[in-house]
Chains A and B, each alone.
Chain A
Amino acid sequence: MFHLSQMDQIFLKSLADVVRTSRTTSQYDKLTFTTQTIADIKNELQSRQESVRYQALLKLFFLAMEGNNIRWAEFQIINLMGSGDFQLKLGAQLAAHLVIDNQSQGLIMVTNVFIKEFKSSHIECSSTLSCLGTIANKDLSDSLLSHVLKLTTNTKPLIRKKAIAVLSKIFTINPLNIPGNLEMVIQQLQKETNISVLACGISLFCSIMKVAPKLYPLFLSIVYDQISKQKSNWLLIKLVRISNKLISLEPRFQGKLIEHYTRLLNQTNSKSLQYELIYSIMRHFKNHSQLYESAGDILKQFLNHQDPNLRCLGLECLTHISTSVGLMEFQEQILESFKKSDYFSKLQILQLFKDFTNQNNFQTVIEFFLKYSDMESNDKIIESLIFIITKDKFINVDDPEKLLLVYIPIIAQKIDSIDNAIRFKELLFELLTRVPGLKVYSDQLCNQILQTYATQSDSLQGPTLNIVKRHTQLKYSLNHREIIFKSLIMIVGESVKLLKLEALTNIIKFLEQLNILNCYESSLSDIDSLLFKIYIQIIKSDPENQIIPQMEQLIKNIYTKLHNISIVKISFFYESLIQIKSRDQLQQLYNLFEEDLPPINLEAQKLIKPPEGLDINKSFQIDISEIEKIKNTNSDYIEQKQLIQQQQQIEQNQGEQQDQNSEIQIKVENEEELKPLNNKIDQNANKIFIINRDEELPPGINQDDINKFKEEE
């Protein structure tokens, strides 16, 4: 310890100097400044003059607030907490929470300091209690409990209220301290008249309810007593809050509160008290119609209020209405409030409707949210709407046709995220699986949605693939439009058999006309598959061969753009094979492979020398009788195999037909509505597939074979 001379004191920096210097120092010089200041503080803390040490303490506090570590000063600060000078003591107590924590080794010293301070004047005791309230931990609480309890009987209300507030923390940290000590506090509070002390007492009871709720009978009477006579809003708010918790533990308490709640609800203008009352009434007083109605009226005021805070709190109260009938009463106000709300309030409202939408308000809810979605909340709105639609296997949906044709296209237009696109896809699949009669509308749905995509310019500019660079590797992921496009294509493909000829041709024209192929590159295999299915269906549905040539041309145009003509050739060729039922046509093909393989061409052997001993002019087929035997066995096998395959094909067709009939019977209502619109399923599947393009004939077949076949037909 040293004594600063008068000269030195002139150059001593005060707190204000340090603050000014810190604000004006540049970032680069900050470290130098801080280091210098800390060095000065270390010296000043050892001074004998209290004013110097006080200034040093405040400067230290300031440096800690700037983000510097001052834990090295723990011992000095604890030492100053026990100082004789009140100013120093106070400064040290304010700074204590910066250096003392649960793991501090100086906590043992602090206990004795506090015990000594509790015996001082009421102002010093009060500041010590404030400090204890901030730094209390388990060890400190256990050591000081008895001293704090004594302070609850102090003559000064300042000390009593702070002592009770500290007790609240002590009991929370170590609930084992409650039994035996709580009764003493309750006895004090029963005689208490000061509102602040009573309020601290109620806070104490709230803290005890969190850690030891079964002790509620000890303070039930005091809470009831206070709620019947208190007028202070701060205290009433705490009383109503604790009553709310008590009602869940003791339902009989509810009856006693009706009269007081009614009185408070009618008399008070304080919004915070009204909110607390409404919150409690909505949760626990549903059976008391008069009180519930009064609370409902005030709740409506909250929902219509200009202040967004009150609207948000009104919505919070509504979450406690557990029935959709109850919520319907407030539906209009909630929807009005949605228009003015911020993002978080909108999420609250969406959650409410996710839980409480039913068949009665389904259409209203869907139409409203589709109309009032904005950029910020669009994603969440769509997610909620999809949830509402699919909830409990479409329990809210009473008109699936309207859903599919009116709401779903609008939802598809508003989707702008991959997650929602995937949800939308699952919604569509599930809806069409559960309501198979709707599949006839799949072309309409497809056209409606894709038409919108086509008219929006960005869908025609460049691909719809998102290129995502991850770890220096380029990875491609589908965007939301592509996901929806793929799902629509798949649905149409699955529903091809139910669609009219006109619808099918429109789809092909649509795909060809709008140049979608350039945009949806990763869906080309799906488009190929769809075109294939449509083409087969058209062949079945057009026995007079009126539109097949036109369709073939359109499909050819599409494939020309795709540069996949080889796929067309092969796929058309094999499809024609499957469709051909006559053995003779197949026999022609067998003839291809029946004849002996020709010997190796001499020209081919110019470059590759045949192995020694091999006579290239000799036939491979040495044992003719063996070959004949194999051939006969094979031909029987082939014949039987063909018969088996034909039988299987017939059985499969019959099975499909039965499945379709049973699906139609299950959804009787949909069938009755959709009967006039449904296609007749074409039973006659024996359409012959004709290739009329010479240049596209595969090797081994010539035009004469085809002409011969046609004549036979």
Chain B
Amino acid sequence: MIRFILLQNRQGKTRLSKWYVYYDDAEKVKLQNEVHRLIVCRDTKHTNFLEFRNYKIIYKRYAGLFFALCVDVSDNELTMLELIHLYVEVLDKYFGNVCELDIVFNFNKAYSILDEMIVGGEIVETSKQVIINAVKNIELLD
């Protein structure tokens, strides 16, 4: 199960955060700082997984943004890496050559896309086309 998802830039600014397990506000801030501190100093020869408290952090860097997932120890790391890549591909297809500013100004769209992929911490859809179609259907109703 996915416990939380964070999108942070190199300066530690959180662009997107989704929490599937209850944490109070102070704990959320602490977690964001801790995760950023752990992943920002790792270079390319390090693995994309690391132990974090009793869970695992799986992260991937795309340009200046770090996509980090906190998952249970029993979850498949490679699957989660694939999920991060899928999310980036969907964002790229939706926004067309996505960049950090697209997420800053259209965070509500980014959250909508995420909600089509993950519900209650579980992956519900992995087809790029199905996800894009679902988001476009929502836009039609707007």
Q: Which positions in A face B, CB cutoff 8 Å?
A: 15-16, 19, 23, 58, 61-62, 65, 67, 69, 86-87, 90-91, 94, 97, 101-102, 121, 123-124, 126-127, 129-130, 133-134, 136-137, 158, 161-162, 165-166, 168-169, 196, 199-200, 203, 207, 234, 237, 241, 271-272, 275-276, 308-309, 311-313, 342-345
B107: Cβ under 8 A from any A Cβ? yes
Q: Provide 5 A-B residue pairs closer than 8 Å at the C-beta atoms, listed in order of the A residue.
A: A58-B108, A61-B107, A94-B115, A165-B122, A200-B122
A226 to chain B minimum Cβ distance, whole angstroms, is 16
Q: Known A94-B111, A165-B120, A272-B82; judge A196-B49 contact (CB<8 A).
A: no
The residue on B at minimum CB distance from A342 is B46
List 10 tightest A-B contacts by C-beta distance, closest first: A133-B120, A272-B78, A169-B120, A130-B115, A165-B119, A133-B119, A342-B46, A312-B47, A203-B122, A87-B142
A237 proximity list for chain B (CB < 8 A): 76, 79
Q: Known A127-B115, A342-B47, A344-B47; judge A90-B138 contact (CB<8 A).
A: yes
A58 to chain B minimum Cβ distance, whole angstroms, is 6
Q: How far is the CA of A61 from the CA of B115 in the complex (A)?
A: 16
Q: How far is the CA of A271 from the CA of B81 in the complex (A)?
A: 12
Say yes or no: A345 contacts B115, CB within 8 Å. no
Say yes or no: A102 contacts B22, CB within 8 Å. yes
Say yes or no: B25 contacts A69, CB within 8 Å. yes
Say yes or no: A313 contacts B78, CB within 8 Å. yes
Q: Known A234-B126, A272-B79; judge A129-B138 contact (CB<8 A).
A: no
Say yes or no: B78 contacts A168, CB within 8 Å. no
Query: From residue 113 to 142 of chain B, which have CB atoms closer than 8 A to chain A?
Result: 115-116, 119-127, 130, 134, 137-138, 141-142
Say yes or no: A65 contacts B47, CB within 8 Å. no
Say yes or no: B138 contacts A123, CB within 8 Å. yes
B124 proximity list for chain A (CB < 8 A): 161-162, 165, 196, 199-200
Say yes or no: A101 contacts B22, CB within 8 Å. yes
Q: How far is the CA of A410 from the CA of B137 in the complex (A)?
A: 69
Say yes or no: A61 contacts B51, CB within 8 Å. no
A56 to chain B minimum Cβ distance, whole angstroms, is 13
Say yes or no: A309 contacts B122, CB within 8 Å. no
Interface size band for B: 35 or more
A158 proximity list for chain B (CB < 8 A): 134
Say yes or no: A309 contacts B1, CB within 8 Å. no
Q: How far is the CA of A65 from the CA of B18 in the complex (A)?
A: 11
Query: B interface, by DSSP: helix, strand, loop or mixed?
Result: mixed
A545 to chain B minimum Cβ distance, whole angstroms, is 67
B77: Cβ under 8 A from any A Cβ? yes
Pick the contact of B45: A15, A67, A168, A342 (CB < 8 A). Answer: A342
Residues 1-44 of chain B: 1 if any A CB is under 8 Å from the residue's CB, otherwise 0? 10000000000001111111010110001000000000000000
A126 proximity list for chain B (CB < 8 A): 134
Interface centre among B46, B81, B122, B123 (most CB of A within 10 A): B122
B83 to chain A minimum Cβ distance, whole angstroms, is 9
The residue on B at minimum CB distance from A235 is B126
Say yes or no: A16 contacts B105, CB within 8 Å. yes
A264 to chain B minimum Cβ distance, whole angstroms, is 15
B78 proximity list for chain A (CB < 8 A): 271-272, 275, 309, 313
Q: How far is the CA of A241 from the CA of B112 in the complex (A)?
A: 29
A345 proximity list for chain B (CB < 8 A): 47
Say yes or no: A90 contacts B142, CB within 8 Å. yes
A241 proximity list for chain B (CB < 8 A): 74, 76
The residue on B at minimum CB distance from A130 is B115
A134 proximity list for chain B (CB < 8 A): 18-20, 120
Say yes or no: B141 contacts A91, CB within 8 Å. no
Q: How far is the CA of A161 from the CA of B130 in the complex (A)?
A: 13
Q: Known A61-B107, A342-B46; judge A166-B74 contact (CB<8 A).
A: no
The residue on A at minimum CB distance from B72 is A210
Say yes or no: B141 contacts A123, CB within 8 Å. yes
Pick the contact of B77: A124, A313, A342 (CB < 8 A). Answer: A313
Query: From residue 94 to 119 of chain B, which have CB atoms closer than 8 A to chain A?
Result: 104-105, 107-108, 111-112, 115-116, 119
Q: How far is the CA of A312 from the CA of B130 in the complex (A)?
A: 33
Say yes or no: A86 contacts B115, CB within 8 Å. no
B88: Cβ under 8 A from any A Cβ? no
Q: How far is the CA of A311 from the CA of B104 in the complex (A)?
A: 36
Say yes or no: B107 contacts A196, CB within 8 Å. no
B17 proximity list for chain A (CB < 8 A): 65
Q: How far is the CA of A67 from the CA of B33 in the complex (A)?
A: 13
Say yes or no: B115 contacts A234, CB within 8 Å. no
Q: How far is the CA of A275 from the CA of B49 in the complex (A)?
A: 15
B82 proximity list for chain A (CB < 8 A): 272
Q: How far is the CA of A447 from the CA of B82 in the complex (A)?
A: 57
Say yes or no: B108 contacts A91, CB within 8 Å. yes
B25 to chain A minimum Cβ distance, whole angstroms, is 7
Query: From residue 60 to 97 of chain B, which have CB atoms closer than 8 A to chain A?
Result: 74, 76-79, 81-82
Q: How far is the CA of A130 from the CA of B138 in the complex (A)?
A: 13
Q: How far is the CA of A130 from the CA of B141 in the complex (A)?
A: 17
Pick the contact of A344: B18, B46, B108, B111 (CB < 8 A). Answer: B46
Q: How far is the CA of A345 from the CA of B74 in the complex (A)?
A: 18
Say yes or no: B119 contacts A129, CB within 8 Å. yes
The residue on B at minimum CB distance from A131 is B115
The residue on A at minimum CB distance from B80 is A272
A342 to chain B minimum Cβ distance, whole angstroms, is 4
A65 proximity list for chain B (CB < 8 A): 14-17, 107
Say yes or no: B138 contacts A309, CB within 8 Å. no
A122 to chain B minimum Cβ distance, whole angstroms, is 9
